[in-house]
Amino acid sequence: MTASSPQISSTVTQNPTSSELVVEVRGLYKSFGNSKALRGLDLSVYRGSIHGFLGPNGAGKSTTIRTLLGLLSPEKAAGTVVKLLGYSPHNHPEVLRRVGYVPGEVALWPNLTGEETLRALEKLRGVSVDRGKERQLISDFCLDTSRKVREYSTGNRRKVLLVAAFSFNAELYIFDEPTAGLDPLMENVFTQWCCQERDRGASILLSSHIMSEVEKLCDHITVIKEGYAVDTGSVADLRHLSDVVITAVKPSPSSGESSTERVTITVPRDQSAERLRRLLDDGAQDITCNPASLEQIFLHHYELGEPYRESTRDREKSGEVEQ
């Protein structure tokens, strides 16, 4: 895949003092009625990186992204910072012209063709696309742009948004569950384009609940649970998140020689070989070993988080956060 990379024109000039940090979130709170969606979230994404934003459904990922895009307003709290490319999206919405975004929910105009939809999105953004790059994207994603959107599957509708996002050479991409509905071949195309854009110098914030996708693509990861960051670091630093689930049928010593029991064990990946050897030594059969789902990983690693929650409550009681 090759494409030219023209500079994006914008009324916002580059802020040289924040050239390294492209997403900066500090102490972000957001509530909906009595439900606290975000509880003092911190998030940093650096230029030229692919940053994974991991968490189970309902953790606050989409709320964070909508706040970054200016669709939601953060609650007033001491020290709260929300910036994209050095600017507040609420005070400088024009900075969003430099951001490519694919939402988790895909809603397009059903009576337009794919081509008409791409032109409408280009006009709404106000930034001209690289037509050569767009043609390459359409080819790579095997997208028939002559068909009406109402004839598209969920995966094809998502392809339209991916083509629209990648084709105008954004400085920052924000993807919310971008591969939902894509088959494995198209997931691989998405991965290739992400790597190409990173090599071009762009940055990517990738929100997902698929651990394998994040591990394959990302340089850094922030893990979110119940509205706050419970872990952040490089993929190597967070390698302990990669648990495996082992199931086996083994003899049951308490029920006689002919009795067996099925066991399920969740262990860190670096301990899986030793645990498998122990099961084999115990005469286990029908052994399976699979990557743990993110939900299982969260139950294993992040069921506790009281120190941060206590500090959050203390801040709320002290009046730093407006209720």
Cα–Cα nearest to 55, from 223, 200, 173: 223
pLDDT in tens, 237-284: 776 667 788 999 988 776 556 678 889 888 888 888 999 999 999 889
**Beta carbons of 59 and 297 less than 8 angstroms apart:** no
What the block records as the tokens of 101 is: 């975004």
Which helix (H) or strand (E) element contains residue 313? helix 306-318
pLDDT in tens, 288-304: 998 776 566 666 666 54
**The predicted structure's pLDDT at residue 295:** 60
Buried b (16+ CB within 10 A) or exposed e, 196-227: bbbeeebbbbbbbbbbebbbbbbbbbbbbbbb
Determine the distance from the C-alpha atom of residue 8 to the mean position of all C-alpha atoms in its chain, rounded to a whole number. 24
Q: Which of 78-82's residues contact partners 24+ apart within 8 Å by CB, and which partners?
A: 78/27, 78/320, 79/26, 79/27, 80/26, 80/27, 80/28, 80/29, 81/24, 81/25, 81/26, 81/27, 82/24, 82/25, 82/28
**Beta carbons of 279 and 248 less than 8 angstroms apart:** yes
pLDDT in tens, 102-146: 999 899 999 999 999 999 999 999 999 999 999 999 999 999 999
Q: How far is CA 159 from CA 84, 164, 166, 212, in A?
A: 25, 8, 10, 21
What the block records as the tokens of 81 is: 């910072």
